[in-house]
Amino acid sequence: MQNAILKFEELLNENVNYIPTINNEILEVKNPGKWSKKEILGHLVDSAIHNLVRFTEINYAEKPYRHRPYNQMDLVNLNQYQKIDIQELTQLWFTINKQMVRLMKSVDEKALDYKIILADGSEIDLRFLMTDYVEHLEHHINQIRA
């Protein structure tokens, strides 16, 4: 878990000041059926919001915890990330994720083994969900930086 937290902090610290320096025309380029780089960052905001709730709820909710999916496409469109100032969007992304880092650092070792049931009925644990979140974040940051 420690490696995931270190990677998480590294991704945040390397990109909070870098992303707003990307030319706005590059950030807003849209290809058919694809998100712009700005919308990808917005998707990361939505992902952070939902996962912060999951990472928190699992500590007090009935076990096993039931993972609730969300409609990623609708959220990106409804939140109109394409129109938000990149400084504001980056700060929103950074602030929510800093809270997630604090939570991950403080999570009880025992809680990392809490079972989570996915929508398809398969099972994972909190450790996997947290680690997977960091990998998901890294994947999309790489898309933004490309």
- What CATH code would you report for 2-145? 1.20.120.450
Please state the domain extents for the chain.
Answer: 2-145
- Euclidean distance between the first and the last CA atom of the chain, given in angstroms as a whole number: 27
Asked whether 19 and 32 are in contact (CB, 8 A), the reply is no
Query: Rounded to two decimals, what is the model's pTM?
Result: 0.96
Q: What is the pLDDT along the chain (146 residues), one digit of tens a residue?
A: 999 999 999 999 999 999 999 999 999 999 999 999 999 999 999 999 999 999 999 999 999 999 999 999 999 999 999 999 999 999 999 999 999 999 999 999 999 999 999 999 999 999 999 999 999 999 999 999 99
**Amino acid occupying residue 96:** I
